[in-house]
Each structure stands twice: as C-alpha cells, then as structure tokens.
C-alpha cells in the first residue's frame, strides 16, 4: 500500500471514529444559557436524522452523529449554500471532496443557530448508501457543531435538548491531518510491503492513473466468460465499492477482493453514464 493510500485510509478512519477531544473537554455552562429542544427522526438503522439550514439555505436532512469528529456536507449543499466560494482545493480528494475544511457562516439545527462552523465538503459513500436506503440525506453533523452545547437525548420522545456551554471547538481537521502525517512518517519508511491478491476469480482488469483523484477505479477490460462479464460489468465502468468496501485505489480494490471467498454473491457499486449502479458478482474458484 502506498503512502498516499495509507494516509487517506487513516483520515477516513479518523473522520468517522469517536473524537477524543469530545471526551476530554467538559466546559461549564454559559451564564443565563437557555435550553433549546430539537426533535429528531429515529431511522430504522438507529441513526438520528435532523433538519438543518446552512447559510440560510435549506432545509436539508442530515444524520446527527455524536461520534463524528467532523461535520460533512454534500457537494449539493455546498453549492446551494455558497460554501465553496474562495475555498482552497482539499489536500486529499477523497470521495469527490471539493473543500475542506471550509466555514459555514451559520448552521441551524432546529431552533439552534451556530456561527462559523467548520465543514468538510464531500459525497461520502456511506452517506450515499444511507440516502439510497432511507431517502434524502445530505451529510453528517458532528463535533464542530454539538461540542458547543451540553446535550440530553430522549429517545422515547425523540427530542434532543441543548444548552449552550460557551465552548469553542478547536480545529479538529488540522489535528487529524497532523495524526495522518505522523502515521505516514512513522510507518512509511519502515513498513514492509504487503502483497495484495484476490481470493477468487473476478474476470476484469482495473486501473487508475497517477493524476486521477476521482473516487473509484476504472474497469479497463472485462474478460469474456468471467464472473464480471456474467454480472454485466463493462469496460469503462467506474468501480466505487466492492462488498461495501470503498475502492478509491487499485490497492483498495485488491484489499477488498481479498476478503471475498469464491461462490458467494457480492454487491459491486459502479458509476456508469453518471449514475450509480449496483451489480451482483459471484466470483469463481480457481487460479
């Protein structure tokens, strides 16, 4: 696995893991702070969904995640809310990331309005999959918003109560990038190379150019009579996910394929003609 792939993987793990900062900081409530009650929707996946406005635009339905260290919004929201005006290109173009971090002048959740909220703009595969299953979902609200409040959750009434604490969240994105840089420095020069190989026959050839930063890998060729051909995979398809694992590089693809045993049907998500398509591939046994 290359340094670039290792760094990207570490950032993705950090992005959706529980933030250590949220566990160690316990700010005192601000004086005269009044509680605000916000209803939420409990999805069948047990995620909490809320309605937000960004820079006055919306409403948008998002996941409210008390374990997410970043707030992630889709490119659609960013365009409509003007988040990308003057924003620098992100250092890691993961999953179509267009900006990160950028600052939302206002982010409203129910009757709460927070100012200058740090946001990452990307069309994350997890958000896209949730939207396909549960209806429109335009991102995840995380630490840069909820860390400003003391919260109480009432799952029976499906309500959250917020009390402003006066705490200003730190730059979590920079902290994560520092960790990724440190991880690359520690492991990049010393880590032994790892040989990745699929556990079964798939019947297609993937590829990705060095300057290609878009999500997924390109299907260069599909072998006649193979499992991929039988499932309808075509040369030119952009493979985004294999067995619910992201395939942002050829190394990611081989790693994902290494977990799949022959003979079992596997979901493969591709982009074809600018649309996401899900195919079922049954990889075969043999050399």
- The model's pLDDT over 123-151, given as tens digits with 9 standing for 90+, comes to 888 888 888 888 999 999 999 999 999 99
**pLDDT < 50 regions, the chain:** 1-28, 92, 94-96
Distant-in-sequence, close-in-space partners of 193: CB < 8 Å, separation ≥ 6: none
151 strand-pairing partners: 162
Report the pLDDT value the prediction gives residue 99, as an integer from 0 to 100: 53
Report the pLDDT value the prediction gives residue 137, as an integer from 0 to 100: 94
Report the pLDDT value the prediction gives residue 193, as an integer from 0 to 100: 64
149 strand-pairing partners: 164
Cα 153-159-160 angle, rounded to 5 deg: 50
Tallying the residues shown for the chain, one arrives at 287
- State yes or no: cis peptide before 102, omega within 30 of 0: no
Minimal CA–CA distance to 143: which of 121, 167, 123, 169?
169
């Amino acid at each position: 696995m290359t340094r670039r792939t290792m760094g990207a993987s570490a950032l993705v793990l950090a992005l959706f893991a529980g933030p250590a900062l949220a566990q160690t900081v316990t700010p005192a409530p601000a004086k005269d702070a009044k509680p605000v009650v916000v209803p939420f929707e409990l999805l069948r996946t047990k995620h909490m969904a809320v309605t937000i406005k960004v820079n006055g635009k919306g409403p948008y339905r998002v996941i409210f995640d008390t374990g997410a260290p970043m707030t992630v919004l889709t490119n659609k929201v960013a365009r409509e809310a003007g988040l990308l005006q003057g924003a620098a290109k992100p250092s890691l173009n993961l999953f179509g990331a267009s900006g990160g971090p950028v600052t939302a002048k206002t982010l409203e959740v129910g009757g709460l309005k927070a100012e200058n909220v740090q946001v990452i703009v990307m069309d994350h595969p997890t958000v896209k999959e949730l939207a396909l299953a549960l209806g429109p979902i335009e991102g995840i609200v995380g630490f840069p918003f909820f860390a400003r409040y003391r919260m109480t959750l009432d799952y029976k009434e499906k309500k959250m109560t917020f009390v402003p604490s006066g705490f200003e969240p730190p730059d979590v994105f920079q902290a994560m990038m520092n960790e990724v840089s440190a991880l690359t420095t520690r492991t990049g020069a010393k880590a032994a190379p790892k040989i990745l190989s699929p556990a079964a026959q798939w019947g297609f050839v993937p590829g990705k150019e060095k300057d290609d930063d878009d999500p997924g890998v390109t299907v260069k060729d599909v072998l006649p009579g193979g499992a991929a051909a039988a499932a309808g995979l075509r040369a030119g398809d952009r493979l985004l996910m294999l067995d619910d694992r992201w395939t942002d590089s050829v190394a990611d693809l081989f790693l994902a394929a290494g977990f799949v045993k022959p003979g079992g049907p596997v979901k493969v998500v591709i982009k074809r003609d600018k649309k996401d398509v899900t195919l079922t591939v049954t990889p075969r046994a043999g050399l």
